[in-house]
Amino acid sequence: MAALLRSPLALALIVFLASGATVLAALAFEHIGGYEPCALCLTERVPYYLALPVAAFAAGAAWRAAPPALLILVFAGLALIMAVSAGLGVYHAGVEWDFWEGPAACAPTGGPSDATSMLNSLQAGNVGPSCEDAVWRFLGLSFAGWNVVASLFLVTLALLGMVSARRR
C-alpha cells in the first residue's frame, strides 16, 4: 500500500477511478434510486467531470515518465479542482442546514398550476427539487456532505501525487 502512495501513476489512476466511481454512484442514485438532483447537486458533479480527463492525462504523463514539474503541475490542478468540489459541497450542505440561502435556481418549485406559470418557472431556472432539502442522509451526512468527504480524499491523493512527483 505504501508503494502505491509513492507512485504518481498509481495515484493518478486512483484519482481517476475514484472520480469515475463517484460520478457513477451519483448517476445510479439518480437513475436507479429515483433521487432527482437539485441544481447544486448537478453543479457539484462538474469538478468530477473535469477531474476525469486531467487524472487520465496525469496517469499517461506518469506512465511516459514526464518531467516532474509537469506532473506536479497536473496534480496541483487536480488538487485545486477537488478543493473547489469540496467547497461546493460545504456550500450545499450549508444550504441544507439553513446556515445560508442557496441560489435562486434552488428555490422550491411547488409545481406550476398552469402553462404560464410553468413557462415562468422554466425561464427563471426554478426547476427540479429544492436545494434546501436533503433527500437522503447516511451517518448524518447528505449527498452534499459525502461529496465533501470524497472531494477531500481526492485532494489528499492529488497532494500525495505532487509529493511523489517531486521525489522522482
Predicted confidence (pLDDT) per residue in 123-132, tens digit: 655 556 776 6
Q: Kindly report the CATH number assigned to the domain that includes residue 60.
A: 1.20.1550
Number of domains comprising the chain = 1
The boundaries of the domain holding residue 17 are 4-166
Model confidence pLDDT, tens digit, residues 25-64: 989 988 887 788 888 888 899 999 999 999 999 999 999 9
| pLDDT beyond 70 at 98 | yes
Assigned C-alpha cell, 93: 450542505
pLDDT at 35: 81
Per-residue HEC secondary structure of 45-74 comes to HHHHHHHHHHHHHHHHHHHCCCCHHHHHHH
